[in-house]
Structures are given as C-alpha cells and as structure tokens.
Structure 1
Amino acid sequence: MDRGSYFEYNGRPAVRFQRTYPHPAERLWAAVTDPAELAHWFPSTVRMDSHEGGKIEFSGDPNLEASTGTLLAYDPPRRLAYTWGGDELHFEIEPVDDRSCTLTLINVLEAENTAARNAAGWTVCLAELGKHVSGATAEGPHGESAEPWRPLYEEYVAAGMPAGAPIPGVSGDGS
C-alpha cells in the first residue's frame, strides 16, 4: 500500500498523501475541482463556488449527512483548500515537468482518533482517482470495484496511526 502519513499541521492532527501522476497539473486540477470528475473518486457529490471564501456543498455520501463548507484557498491549477465539517482538506499540485505532476492531499483532522479511519478512506479515494485520470473505469469509493476499506483501516491501526473514532455503518467504537 502507498501509505499515508500522520503528522501535525499547524498544531492539529493530520494525514498526508502524495501521488505522482503522468498528467499535467491542469489535468489533476480538473479532477479535484470539476464536479463531474469528482464523481468518479470523491466520497460525496460536490458543488463549489470557485473562489476563496466561496461555499462548497457536500451531499450524496451514504455515510454522512449533507453539509456545507468554505473554500480556504482557490489558486488554479496549484492549490485548493476547504473546510468539511470540523476537518480541512488541502490539495497541492506541483508540476514535475510538462507532462506530470505531484498531488499532495492533506486532511487536517478535527480529532486525532479519526486518523486511521480517514487515512483508509483517502487511500481508497486516491486509488479511484488514479484509475479515473488514467482512463480506467472508476466507480468511486463506494463502488463495487473500489479497494476494500476495512483491510486498509486495519493496516493503518496496526502501523500505530491513531484510531478509535466511530465508523459510519458499524456499531462500536471503530477500534
């Protein structure tokens, strides 16, 4: 598994993922901002006002209620950040050359014990993103062909990532 890492971001717990894609930055920018593209890999349906301070709406995730956040940064095609509940998501896209770029996703967490749960979820989502931008069929993280979440979660917990937050759809504390 291309593992995410746990760290502190401005004094808050966070998980970080980095992936390099054989596509220009503009291609990845579209994948992380265009609602039609997000539908192939992101866990919720998204609508956003494309400017810093704009509203972003999340709906359609079978595990979460619909909610609204705020765009903290909108700098095409390099930087996007927004609030989602008590969390923040930061997407940084850095060109490697004219034909490839590196995406860094940082999920700043509201609570430390959500690290393993969220890391497993983003691992599934980023695998779907990889399929989508490569032209393969990507049904999204809730689709039948998505990588199973539970084994990834167990790997993150076994590696020592903070855990114990409730898992939607599962009784108990998630540990």
Structure 2
Amino acid sequence: MKDDDYGVLTAPDTVRIERLLPGPIERAWAWITEEDKRAQWLAGGAMDLQVGGRVALTFRHKELTHADDPAPPKYADMAACAELLGQVTVCEPPHRLAHTWGGQGEVQYELREVGGGVRLVITHQRLPSRDDVLSVSAGWHAHLDLLVARLRGREAPRYWQLHSRLEVDYADRFPV
C-alpha cells in the first residue's frame, strides 16, 4: 500500500483522503451518485441530487467482497446491514457533492480531471470522537480501494480484513 493512499487529518475532527480514478469524470461521478454502482463499493440507497435532497445509504458490507472475514465484534451490529440518513448540502455535477452523514458530520466529494484520470478528494468533517476518526479513516480508505479495484476491473480486497488492518495503521498515524 502506498503511503499517499492514506488519509490525512486536516483538523482534529476532519480526515481528507484522495484517489486517482480512471476517467472520464462523468464515469467517476456516476460511481458516486448512482445507487447500483455505489452499492458495489460503498453503500446502495437513494440519493436525491439537489440541495436539501434526502440521502439514504444502505451498507451491506458482507456483500462487498467474496469470501470476506466476519466483521470485527465492535462492528457486528452493522455486519449484515446498516443504514445512514443524510441531506445533500452541495450538488454541482460532476465536480462536487456534499451531504450530512447521519450523526457523524458531513462528507464532501470533489472530482477534478487530471491528465487522463480523475482526482477524487473526500473530506469527512465534524467527526464526534477520535474513535470515529479512526473508524471513518479506515472505512473510507477500504471503500476507496474497492472503488479503484471495481473501476480497473480487478479483484476487490476483502473489506473487513482490510478495514481492521487500516484501523490499526490510522491509530499509529493519528496519535492522541
């Protein structure tokens, strides 16, 4: 895993993570906003793409990859299905989307064409605790690795195995 794949803290309650995706930008936007595509790397569910629109993400982590390990005990309640509700706060297709993330702050996706690819920057802010920062950092990192694998036609890494390892890495990278 490359060092620049890791997210960075831009404030004590804010993590920023980037990936270079294959283009064009409309394809990357579709994988973020269209339910059937988003369900393959993050979460399904409806997303009303207008400011004030409803976001209803349905996470089915055990369906993201084949032969995955079981969820760690602290995530057992979300192993089969977890739902998160939010509201769109910014929608500027195909460059910017932001929405609230249940009770855990706000997420912003920024897409910019670079060369033949697309730079995706995700910023998750107003996380309530250090544990949330570590969990969300590992989660975004693992989900983005799945997205890149899907877009490149490669086998996706095992989600929970990767998430567990990354949570330890982020605890080392983001000391108390």
Task: Report the TM range for the smaller structure's normalisation.
Answer: 0.7 to 0.9
Indicate if the aligned counterparts of 1:82 and 1:90 stay in contact, CA closer than 8 A. Answer: yes
Give the structure, 1 or 2, with the largest relative contact order (CA under 8 Å, sep 6 or more). 2
Deviation at 1:151, TM superposition (A): 1.2
Q: Distance in 2 between matches of 1:161 and 1:46?
A: 34
Which deviations, in whole Å up to 9, do the C-alpha atoms of 1:112-146 show, x marking residues without a partner?
311111101111100000011112354xxxxx733
Higher helix share: 2
Indicate if the aligned counterparts of 2:22 and 2:28 stay in contact, CA closer than 8 A. Answer: no
Q: Distance in 2 between matches of 1:101 and 1:90?
A: 16
* Corresponding residue of 2:47: 48
* Corresponding residue of 2:163: 149
Match for 2:150: what amino acid? H
For structure 1, the residue ranges without an aligned partner over 5 or more in a row are: 139-143, 163-175
Match for 1:80: what amino acid? L
TM-score (norm 2): 0.78
Equivalent residue pairs, number: 152
Which deviations, in whole Å up to 9, do the C-alpha atoms of 1:84-122 show, x marking residues without a partner?
11221100001113x311000111133131111110111
TM-score (norm 1): 0.78
Q: Identity over the aligned pairs, expressed in percent?
A: 28
Deviation at 1:60, TM superposition (A): 4.1
Deviation at 1:50, TM superposition (A): 1.6
For structure 2, the residue ranges without an aligned partner over 5 or more in a row are: 61-76
Find the residue that maps to 1:123 and give its secondary structure: helix
Find the residue that maps to 1:46 and give its secondary structure: coil
Find the residue that maps to 2:29 and give its secondary structure: helix
